[in-house]
């Protein structure tokens, strides 16, 4: 069985070819983890693989709560989308805790 013109990103159980002894072999990028790739998977699919690339993190947002516990967020953009089973994109958003310290917090009831 072969992967010629049949390379799928991620886990795709419909992306298979008949392999040795009538067993299915797979042409999706998840086959590397499960160890059931077709014999030509690396030559047919990984050679053309393009991994994800992302830009720098943007600035943190302001605290969601002007007084007390809240959260801040930041994000980044995909500059090159993954193709042909290349490495998937890392997280594009981050969140962290913060403590709002607006000047009016001390006078609020």
Per-residue model confidence as pLDDT tens digits over 62-77: 999 998 899 999 999 9
**Which whole-number Å values give the CA distances from 13 to 7, 9, 31, in the listed order?**
12, 11, 10
pTM over cut 0.95: no
Confidence of residue 45 (pLDDT cuts 50, 70, 90): confident
Range of the domain at 74: 54-108
Structure tokens at 82: 């993954």
CATH number at residue 93: 2.20.100.10
Does residue 39 share a domain with residue 8? yes
Does residue 61 share a domain with residue 43? no
Does residue 93 share a domain with residue 64? yes
Structure tokens at 41: 């998977």
Residue 92 has pLDDT above 90, yes or no: yes
Does residue 98 share a domain with residue 61? yes
Once rounded to an integer, what is the mean pLDDT over residues 1-22? Answer: 83
């Amino acid at each position: 069985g072969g992967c010629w013109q049949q390379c799928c990103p991620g886990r795709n159980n419909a992306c298979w070819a008949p392999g040795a002894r009538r067993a299915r072999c797979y042409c999706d990028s998840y086959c590397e983890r499960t160890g059931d790739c077709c014999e030509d998977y690396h030559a047919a699919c990984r050679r053309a693989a393009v991994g994800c690339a992302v830009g720098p993190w943007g600035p943190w947002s302001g605290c969601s709560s002007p007084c007390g516990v809240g959260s801040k967020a930041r994000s980044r953009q995909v500059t090159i989308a993954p193709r042909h089973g290349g490495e998937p994109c890392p997280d594009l958003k981050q969140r962290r805790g913060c403590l709002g310290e607006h000047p009016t917090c001390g006078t609020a009831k």
